[in-house]
Amino acid sequence: MNKTANQGSMNAGNAVAHARMSATTSVEGERLLAAQIAAIRGYAGEHGLNLTTEFVERDFGGADDDRPVFRRMLHEILTPDSKVDMIIVTEGSRFMRHAIDARAEKEALLRHGIRVIVVREDVIDHTHGHLADGVS
């Protein structure tokens, strides 16, 4: 599956939201998680993206990809009949905390035509985004 048709366009495409909080047992943790979802919805709306699914992880750290919701998201968007072009997160650490592992995962997704968009850092997986992602 290679979804190259929408790779050049930010005004079209299907996206999923991915939000994560390590500890949501407090009111503050839930508030921050809700703020992530609101920011992702806002970004999708501003850029004309169709937000198809919201994947929300509670009480999981981002040290690796061994997280049930994260694994389910990848499974669903990598199926041959998936129409998803993008994963939207608010910050790079919400996707995965370790930069080297995150970069490898993002490159694997890009080979399938799926970009990771980081809202608050405005990093998109293309040449300039790779540079910015490597610096952060």
Per-residue confidence band for 121, with pLDDT thresholds at 50, 70 and 90: low
Q: How many CB atoms are closer than 10 A to CB 85?
A: 24
The three-class DSSP label of residue 131 is: helix
Q: For residues 16 and 55, give the distance between their C-alpha atoms in angstroms, rounded to a whole number.
A: 7
| Predicted pLDDT at 105 | 81
User: Greater confidence, 9 or 28?
Assistant: 28
Which among 61, 23, 46 is positioned nearest to 122, based on CA atoms?
46
Kindly report, residue by residue over 13-56, the tens digit of the pLDDT: 999 999 987 765 667 778 888 999 999 999 999 999 999 999 99
User: Greater confidence, 126 or 12?
Assistant: 12
Close Cβ partners of 136 (under 8 Å, ≥ 6 residues apart): 92, 99, 121, 123
| Predicted pLDDT at 33 | 86
Where are the domains positioned within the chain? 4-135
Fold of 4-135: Rossmann fold (3.40.50)
Residue 94: C-alpha distances to residues 59, 65, 102, 114, 121 (Å): 12, 11, 10, 17, 12
Close Cβ partners of 43 (under 8 Å, ≥ 6 residues apart): 49, 88, 117, 119
Q: For residues 15 and 61, give the distance between their C-alpha atoms in angstroms, rounded to a whole number.
A: 23
pTM: 0.75
Query: What percent of the chain is predicted at pLDDT more than 90?
Result: 38
